[in-house]
Amino acid sequence: MCQREERGQSRIRCGFALECGGCGGCDGLRHIEGSQSGELTDLLARLRAERAARACVAVVFPIRRGTVEAAQRLVEEGPPFDVERLGLERHHVFVSEREVVFFFEGESATAAVEALSRSPRVLNAAVRWRGILGGRPRLAEERFGWTRTS
């Protein structure tokens, strides 16, 4: 994964979770500010102001040292929502030693993530992540994509 240090914060510029098949038009990484419960909502409001709909969205959650196996177990249980009902084309979750990346692709990926951030079912499931999460979530947007044409 490519990274650049900027004022003591790691900013992802390209990586394993950001290539979604060429939806393009994304503008990098944003850090979410505010309380953890409202961070994603604040970020999504800024996204809506920049662009009405995005085809690709990746939400990056840092995890605490030694929690990767617990994170993998939770991810393997599957999402606490119906992926098809959200209108997504793809949904992936990537787990590394330091973070979990929730990747959404579809015509209205931003709207899907926004709906999930308000879903009581998702918020109830998020309680199980409390001991795993190690910091504020960040939104990573696609910087490069490639799709085979034939």
Ranges under pLDDT 50 in the chain: 1-37, 52
Asked if 2 and 14 touch (Cβ cutoff 8 Å), the reply is yes
Q: What is the dihedral of CA 68, 69, 72, 73, to 10 degrees?
A: -150
Task: List the chain domain ranges.
Answer: 22-140
**What is the pLDDT, as a whole number, of residue 63?**
98
Distances (CA, A) of 112 to 94, 117, 118, 125: 18, 9, 10, 17
- Ranges of H-type helices in the chain: 36-50, 68-76, 109-118, 120-126
Distance CA 120, CA 2 (A): 35
**What is the pLDDT, as a whole number, of residue 41?**
67
**What is the pLDDT, as a whole number, of residue 39?**
67
**What is the pLDDT, as a whole number, of residue 66?**
97
Give the 3-state secondary structure of residue 23: coil
**What is the pLDDT, as a whole number, of residue 115?**
92
Running DSSP on this structure, what letter comes out for residue 142?
A: -
45 contacts: CB under 8 Å, gap ≥ 6: none
Q: What is the pTM of this model?
A: 0.66
Distance CA 116, CA 83 (A): 11
Give the 3-state secondary structure of residue 18: coil
Q: Is CATH 3.30.70.100 correct for 22-140?
A: yes
